[in-house]
Structure 1
Amino acid sequence: MYIHRDADCDALFFVSEIMFISSRFVKFWSFVVDEIYMVCLTELVGWLSVIFT
């Protein structure tokens, strides 16, 4: 019984670690995507202003 409970604790710790790492990863990637999106948007606006003027 004790060993089983210990394994459960280890599994819970492992899952919480994965959740923490993946949340950090998602934050990082959303930041990167935001940066790329802003750069692409400004590039696109620049190109459109060049084309239409």
Structure 2
Amino acid sequence: MVSAGATPGRAARVATLVVASVEGATLLCRARRSLEPLDDVTAELEDLIAAACETG
């Protein structure tokens, strides 16, 4: 993310959020027996990462 324009601090925070979000979505997927939570989280994280790179 840094090479795409995010500051190092923001990149580290977003990376932590990505890992925590995917871990949480994985648990929801198992509980619901569906991939929908992971699909939802993926879509939102894509937007978040793009915004972090645009705004630094």
Aligned residues: 29
The TM-score normalised by the length of structure 2 is 0.48
- Runs (5+) with no aligned partner, structure 2: 1-5, 35-56
Shift of 1:30: 0.2
Runs of at least 4 residues of structure 1 off by over 4 A? none
Q: What secondary structure, in the 3-state scheme, does the structure 1 residue paired with 2:10 have?
A: helix
- Runs (5+) with no aligned partner, structure 1: 1-13, 43-53
Partner of 1:4: none
Q: Report which structure shows greater RCO (CA 8 Å, sep ≥6).
A: 2
The TM-score normalised by the length of structure 1 is 0.50
Q: How many percent of aligned residue pairs carry the same amino acid? A: 3
Partner of 1:25: 17
Q: What secondary structure, in the 3-state scheme, does the structure 2 residue paired with 1:17 have?
A: helix
Higher Rg of the two aligned structures = 1
Partner of 1:15: 7
